[in-house]
Chain A
Amino acid sequence: MPRVLCLLLPLIALPGRAAAHASEQAVVLLLPTGFYVAGGVASVVLTVLLVSVLPDRWALSLFRPLALGRSGGRGGAGPLWTSAAVFLALGLLCVIGEIGPETPVRNPLPQAVWTVFWVAIVLWQGIVGDIWRWVNPWSGPYALVRRLGARPLLRYPRWLGHWPGLASFLAFAAVLLAHPAPADPDQLAPMVAIYWAVHFAGMVVFGPKWRRRAEGLTVLMTNYARLAAVSKARGRWRLGLPGWRYLRFAPPPVALAVTMLVALAVGSFDGLNETFLWLGWIGQNPLEFGGRSAVVAQNLWGLVGACAALTAVFAATVWLGAQLAGAPGTFATSFRRLAPAILPIALGYHFAHYMPSFLVDIQYTIRTASDPLGLGWNLFGTAGLYVTTGFFNTVDTVRVIFLAEAGAVVIGHVVAIAMSHALAVGLHRSHRKAAISQIPLATFMVAYTLFGLWLLASPRGA
């Protein structure tokens, strides 16, 4: 552990950035984060050692799910009805986005998109299970169009694979990271409407396969749903270590594997771009930040760079692992086979990065729910809810928040390491070869734990 600390100290001492007034970050800077980070990294290292020395059957048994009660069918038309309802709600929200309250703290559209969907639903999808099937805004309306007799006009080109889905998710990420005002209701409403319409048109032309392969959010959500602990299999609900289903699937195609890596790259860059370190690199004074409009190009390049770098590093570690294991021919399969192991890390980052803002924004969402049009209504008695940030002001609450974030990052890596080892065993059919092949990837994951925890502990300014 002392060695880990030595590694950490220069990172912790890196010049940081500051927000306009001290609050959560100021208290975080006073916490003994060095020890927390060291403890987190040590847990991940320990996991690597354990899965390397313990018999494979132990690792594999971790991913053998427990059978729970009988599962019914696929829910019949239920998900289609809820999807149709979500579609109608989304349409209404877009109208409210255009003509309702102007600020994101009082308009329900940005709250629905960035707080309810992008934080709550995504996390639910990855941790609990497939809710997207019930709440996506496409499948219901599409079922109606089918009902009315429409049939796909063209066959979805096989060669396109999941690449359009990757492009579509990157477009979403570009708005998230680089748009000057992604929460401005006026600007968000047309973006949501266009995104929905483009993909609905794709479904009408190419059939439902379009959504599964070309709609970036569904691709992401499907990836996460397969990670969830609870799932249906062979007529029963089953509960297993997150990721257990990936041990049963054929390896994803290359484009789909890349979307898994990109999910982590986007989440990581969304943390990095707020740090003093990054702001220093791009010449922004964190105490007098020039606003998102001042860093559009930097964030776009950063996003592209983060996706490219993460994919390249992942490929390099997998390639090196294949070489070390004496099975160089397995590189392509290994790349696809092991990519799902990145998902738990991405999900852990998602939780860690968005948790503090979620705690504030969900209060705004609850308040707005009572008066979505800003007309003075009080539908649920919450229109007068006082939105507090007081919990960022005390050590006890900030420590709990920080440890929850750090815990999510560490758990994500621990699961990832167990998962990638189990996947490697399936690939190499030999404990020794599997363990050796994992050395570069496991090293990368340990380093990434350090990076993730450093992100949480370092000062932020944008």
Chain B
Amino acid sequence: MPKTPILRPEDTIHSPSRRAALRTLGAGGAAAATLPLWARYAGAQSAAPIRLGFEMHATGIGAAYGRWYERTSIAAVKAINAAGGINGREVVMVTEDDGTDPKRAAEVVEKFATQHKVDLAFGTLFSNVVMAAAPRAGELKMPYFVVSEGHHVASGKLNRWTVQPGITDVKSQVLAMAPFVAGNLGKKVTMIYPDYAFGYDHRDNFPPAMKAHGGEVIAQIAIPPTETSFTKYFAKIPRETEVIYHVLVGPAVLTFVKEMGEFFGPSRPEIFGFIDSIEAVDLNSPGLEFLEGTYFWEGNPRYAQKDQTAFDKAYRKAVGVDDNGASVADPKDVSTYAHMFGCWETLYIIKQGMEAAGYKDAGDRQKLIEAVEEIGKIPASDQHPQGDKVFNGKTHQVFGHQYVSKVAKGRLDVVHTSTIEDGMYPDEVDYTTQSF
């Protein structure tokens, strides 16, 4: 596939790590060395860049997400620097690959703190990776901004140093869907989910929420993670089912959808799913024709909508995503649009927190966390293109709008936007009472 090189945000932002060492190799060395000593150090305290450690799933099973999380983060850093940086200082990103590997993630966090001397770390997605690395960040007293949508932060399992201010958690997403499902699709729901932690967040949180809205989950079908053939499970769906709620992930999802279509034929119940199943998958992939007329939760609408905000428009342009949620460089390369905005928004929260805290160096890390805990309301803006939000300082978790889209003519059209309150639930932890 010959491709014309296209100028991307990557062109202008480069990992600055070990740049000092490299300058002796590169052309910059000569210039730096010719400066008088006083000039090299004058103002270093205020002019030194802010160093943000980006923990990237560059290899391993999270690499597809990692690519887009990196593109989004690079674009955000570029935009922040173009607008004067943070507290007037340049922001540089130090990227390390964690291999989507929990053990390596803890090592990366340590490397960030001890070797790269970053101010904080951010960007981790996979829940099992976050769970392994966050305790190390806590021990090192390093702010750890995760972008994982896991409920692990708000559940109280982590620590004062770990926050999730850029993306809502799965519990909130699930709760916010119940009013729409019960009010528009049907009262009797059968859930189909993968039989491990990711699926359990749905299994445990959706039934009580449905009940609260006059609906009922009449069957729960857990699919073993290694399953690749589904027809036998469809036979277990009760006849009176009005809505199927599905949230499968992995390479078998297209097969799942295809077999579901074959099983039901034209007379199917309403179908509601989570976009996680087909994140980064072309909606026009084979087997997905059956999705026409079904509904999806989206964290951020993949297709530009008729009432697209100026914020979304600017954000797409900055990241290099077209109106179909695919790369402007290759329309077949579909982005992880429902999740990656979390990196963009997290970086702006970091900026806001650092500026509120008057952040100077690692000695102010505690002040940064305290400032972020105080953020509260977050209006929709170029900095927060997914929509307005509320950050709960006690649970370290942000809450926001969720979108329901209907598949129509091979694209996703938003038919419902939840309120922020739809996704709220009682606090399960108060991190502010914990010591640093």
Contact = CB atoms under 8 A, between A and B. Distances in A.
Interface in A76-126: 95, 99-106
25 contacts: A15-B224, A18-B226, A19-B251, A20-B249, A21-B276, A21-B280, A21-B336, A22-B251, A23-B64, A26-B251, A26-B253, A29-B252, A29-B254, A30-B254, A102-B96, A285-B196, A289-B61, A291-B99, A292-B99, A384-B5, A388-B332, A389-B64, A459-B251, A461-B61, A461-B251
A219 to B, nearest CB: 28
A18 B102 contact: no
B5 A386 contact: yes
B158 interface: no
B118 to A, nearest CB: 12
Contact of B252 (A183, A291, A375, A459): A459
A280 interface: yes
Interface in A1-21: 13, 15-21
Interface string B236-261: 00000000000001111111001000
B254 A13 contact: no
Given A289-B100, A459-B250, A393 B18 contact: no
Given A29-B228, A292-B60, A389-B67, A180 B103 contact: yes
Contacts of B129: 291
Nearest to A15: B226
B3 A388 contact: yes
Interface in B259-294: 276-282, 285-287
A328 interface: no
Contacts of B95: 101-103, 106
Contacts of B318: none
A17 B101 CA distance: 17
Contacts of B17: 101-102, 374
A397 B285 CA distance: 12
Given A291-B101, A375-B26, A16 B251 contact: yes
Contacts, number: 252
Contacts of A376: 12, 14
Contacts of B287: 30
Given A15-B224, A371-B14, 14 more contacts: A16-B226, A17-B226, A18-B249, A19-B250, A20-B126, A102-B94, A180-B101, A288-B225, A293-B104, A373-B25, A375-B22, A388-B3, A390-B327, A390-B330
Contacts of B31: none
A461 B63 CA distance: 12
A102 B104 contact: no
B97 A21 contact: no
A390 B194 CA distance: 26
A107 to B, nearest CB: 10
Contacts of A289: 60-61, 100
A310 interface: no
B30 interface: no
Contact of A18 (B250, B285, B286, B327): B250
Given A103-B56, A288-B196, A22 B104 contact: no
Interface in B276-335: 276-282, 285-287, 320, 326-327, 329-334
Interface of A: 13, 15-23, 25-30, 95, 99-106, 180-181, 183-184, 276, 279-280, 285-294, 371, 373-378, 381-391, 393-395, 397, 459-462
Interface residues of B, number: 82
A76 B160 CA distance: 68
B361 interface: no
A388 B25 contact: no
Given A99-B22, A103-B58, A371-B14, A22 B286 contact: no
B229 interface: yes
B10 interface: yes
Contacts of A292: 60, 99, 101, 104
Contacts of A23: 64, 251, 280-281
